[in-house]
Amino acid sequence: MDTKFGPFQFGRDRYRHDPDRRRVIDSQILAALVGTIAILLPIVLYLGTKLGVCFYDSLSHFYYASFLGSVFVGALIFIGTFLMAYRGESPDEGTLARFTGIFAYGVALFPTNGAGCAMKRFAGRIFADLRIAESTGAIEVIRPENSDRFFELFKYAAVLHYASGALLFLFLAYYCFFVFTRIIREQQTRADGKTLTWHKWIRNSIYKICGTVIVLCMIALISNPLHTYFTGNEWPWWDQYNYTFWLETFILWAFGVSWITKGRFFRTLLRDDPEHIRH
């Protein structure tokens, strides 16, 4: 006798295969979900600063926050995993997505260096060498010669982080300008085969705006280290107003909006359904 309690089934015929059930994951829903997570991540981190967490200089420095560090890493790993699994609409697009996913992993797994916090006292996670005192059995921290070692996973971790971040942003911009704006003439043009449908025109406009935001923010991000390199002086107001945090936020928001658009706003807007094509 088979018994069933909600999703829990017992007996010989439990969990029988339903041939009519679709097993294909809706890529548009997942694309919109990834975009939503990208938009929400900076908002969650910012709200954390209102609850006493240090307002770090950049999104990446939230890696060292006690709880929000896990949120930061988890969100990037989720985004990276989706991109690794994303097949796209052609083999080359799937290959691009896998590279982008690898770069997202790099940003998450290789943390930036430095404390990134101007507060005189703050809680956070650090990298430290430990030892057990022979006399008391207590765990002691072996203080390094340079306190910055507390915020360095290994010698070249920050280099890998910055390289991964730069490549991630470049690939995201490339997607906005060249991948998402491709045209499927049978579905996305009018009778003349050249004029875009209204929904495709809007989507392409959103993609191009998002790509432009990403590129402009990247240029602004590198202006600070370039200024420091050539003049030897830092802009004091840069970290004071958390410019890196906000520029990275705008990049993530542009990325999020482009992928939500790719997901047709959870399949509710700007779709290429036949009834939306005007002849």
pLDDT digits (tens, 9 = 90+) for 136-187: 889 998 888 888 889 999 999 999 999 999 999 999 999 999 999 998 877 7
Element containing residue 5 per DSSP (H, E): strand 3-5
Task: Look up residue 158 and give its two tokens.
Answer: 């920050």
First vs last C-alpha separation in the chain: 59
Does the predicted TM-score (pTM) go above 0.85?
Answer: yes
Query: Dmax of the chain from CA atoms?
Result: 86
pLDDT in tens, 191-249: 777 788 899 999 999 999 999 999 999 999 999 999 998 998 889 899 999 999 999 99
From CA 168, how far away is CA 179, in angstroms rounded? Answer: 15
Higher pLDDT, 100 or 145: 100
State the Cα–Cα distance between residues 32 and 177, nearest whole angstrom: 18
Q: Which residues pair with 9 in a beta bridge?
A: 4
> For residue 207, which of 273, 261, 247 has the smallest C-alpha distance?
261
How many CB atoms lie under 10 A from the CB of residue 137? Answer: 7
- Tokens, residue 140: 């002691």
| Cα 103 to Cα 110: distance, rounded to the nearest angstrom | 10
